[in-house]
Amino acid sequence: MNGLDSEAAMRIPAPPPPAADNALLDRLARVLHEMGLPCGCQEEVERTLAAFAEFEARRARRRLIVAARERARLLRGYVACLPDLGAEASANLAPEEIAELADMFRVIAAAAAEGAANLEMLANSPCETSP
């Protein structure tokens, strides 16, 4: 497909949703709270959990940014490989070449959809509070 590896595009895993990390942290906080730790210990546990939650939020945001950048890089490569469909030669394309172009558009659409999903998750994730 004009040097494009549609299989490679589909192999790059999307980052897991930050909600999965939040659910684990919420469960851990609940269990630790139910243990009835002494007041000083409980406060330290809560501070530690809050710091860990902030760390996990920053890590999730970085994964989403990296994934979106990778999709943008793939899209630039895919679009560069598209032939000029306005050219005179495109009127004489064989059915196999037209099918190949349709596949290229599908790969581009999938990469764009994944990049958009990464950015939507990023937009809905908690903002970083420290640099």
pLDDT digits (tens, 9 = 90+) for 87-120: 666 778 889 988 998 999 999 999 999 999 999 9
pLDDT of amino acid 115: 94
Handedness of CA 53, 59, 62, 66 (dihedral sign): negative
Residue 84 in domain: yes
Q: What is the pLDDT of residue 85?
A: 74
- Does a structural domain hold residue 37? yes
What is the domain count for the chain? 1
Residue 3 lies in a domain: no
Look at residue 119 and tell me if it is in a domain.
yes
81 within domain boundaries = yes
Cβ proximity of 126 and 89 under 8 Å: no
Helix, strand, coil shares of the chain as percentages rounded to 5?
75, 0, 25
Cβ–Cβ under 8 Å, residues 78 and 104: yes
Closest CA to 25 of 58, 7, 51: 51
Residue 34 in domain: yes
User: Does 116 fall in a domain?
Assistant: yes
Residues of the chain predicted below pLDDT 70: 1-21, 87-89, 127-131
Half-sphere exposure of 58 (CA within 13 A, CB side): 10
pLDDT value of position 17 = 53
Does residue 78 lie in a domain region? yes
